[in-house]
């Protein structure tokens, strides 16, 4: 459906009708969104973007994020771990708020330019929350676990952590900094990140 074609055929009076106007302005995506039809959005309660999980919540505990003394990352077959990591990345059960890593990071959303640098490096969120000058990739996974995912950190020796690290390091290799740098607000509000589907239809964020 082409919304422009529709408005050409409409009378001005009909155009003022709220429904048509909304459809004409927002196009097929909004029109197709069952949540948009109702005045109050029934998905808002379940919508992870209704509040900004990165802005709210209790203070982050440094111990949950910073590698423990004598920590040695779990070793394993990279390809096997990366495969497991890809599955975990879309697993909302890792969080307590219905989100998966993929809710925010699908198609490299929410990653900033720093993600292109070799680890350890400076990440704004780690600096803001914990005053960390630099952060390792496994620590970054833990930070996203405890903050946006509102969950406990993964056990440091767990296969889950190693798997997510393996998967994300593969993603990182293909990451182009320019894309992440495009939205300077993404760090503050991950839901404002460049995911047009999520912005238009909050219910779509639940689908993986």
Q: Binding residues for ligand HEC, per CB under 6 A?
A: 53-54, 94, 99, 101, 103-105, 110-112, 114-115, 123-125, 137, 140-141, 144-145, 148-149, 164, 168, 186-187, 190
Report cis status (omega within 30 of 0) of the bond before 120: yes
Cβ proximity to ligand HEC, 145 vs 162, nearer residue: 145
Structure tokens of 153?
């950190």
Which residue has the CB atom at the shortest distance from ligand HEC? Answer: 101
Q: How far is the CB of 23 from ligand HEC (least distance, A)?
A: 30
CB-nearer residue toward ligand HEC: 38 or 59: 59
**How far is Cα 114 from Cα 137, in angstroms, rounded to an integer?**
11
The Cα 171–Cα 6 span in angstroms is 42
Q: In this structure, are residues 150 and 81 in contact, taking their beta carbons and an 8 Å threshold?
A: no
Comparing C-alpha atoms, which of 139, 108, 113 is closest to residue 124? Answer: 113
Q: CB 35 → ligand HEC: shortest distance, Å? A: 19
Minimum distance of ligand HEC from residue 94's CB (angstroms): 6
Give me the least distance between CB of 90 and ligand HEC, in Å please: 10
Helix (H, G, I), strand (E, B) or coil at 121: strand
Residue 208 CB, shortest distance to ligand HEC, in Å, is: 12
Q: Give the Cβ contact number of residue 157 at 10 Å.
A: 12
Task: Count Cβ atoms below 10 Å from residue 144 Cβ, excluding itself.
Answer: 24
Cβ at position 200, least distance to ligand HEC in Å: 18
Q: Whose Cβ is closer to ligand HEC: residue 24's or residue 47's?
A: 47
For the CA atoms of the chain, what is the radius of gyration? 20
Using the minimum distance from each CB to ligand HEC, give the nearer residue, 24 or 141: 141
Closer to ligand HEC by CB, 35 or 175: give it. 175
Task: Give the Cα separation of 205 and 87 in Å (integer).
Answer: 17
Nearer to ligand HEC, 65 or 110 (CB): 110
């Amino acid at each position: 459906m082409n919304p422009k074609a529709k408005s050409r055929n409409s009378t001005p009076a009909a155009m003022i009708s709220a429904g048509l106007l909304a459809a004409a302005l927002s196009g097929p995506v909004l029109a197709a969104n069952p949540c948009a039809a109702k005045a109050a959005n029934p998905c808002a309660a379940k919508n992870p973007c209704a509040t900004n999980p990165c802005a709210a919540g209790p203070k982050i505990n440094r111990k949950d994020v910073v590698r423990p003394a004598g920590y040695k990352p779990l070793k394993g077959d990279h390809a096997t771990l990366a495969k497991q990591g890809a599955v975990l990345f879309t697993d909302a059960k890792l969080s307590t708020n219905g989100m998966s890593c993929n809710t925010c990071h699908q198609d490299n959303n929410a990653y900033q330019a720093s993600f292109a640098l070799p680890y350890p490096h400076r990440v704004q969120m780690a600096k803001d929350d914990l005053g960390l000058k630099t952060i390792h990739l496994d620590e970054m996974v833990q930070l996203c676990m405890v903050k946006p995912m509102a969950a406990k950190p993964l056990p440091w020796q767990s296969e889950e952590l190693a798997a997510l690290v393996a998967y994300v390091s593969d993603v990182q290799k293909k990451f182009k900094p320019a894309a992440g740098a495009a939205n300077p607000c993404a760090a503050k509000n991950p839901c404002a990140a460049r995911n047009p589907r999520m912005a238009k239809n909050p219910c779509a964020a639940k689908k993986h």
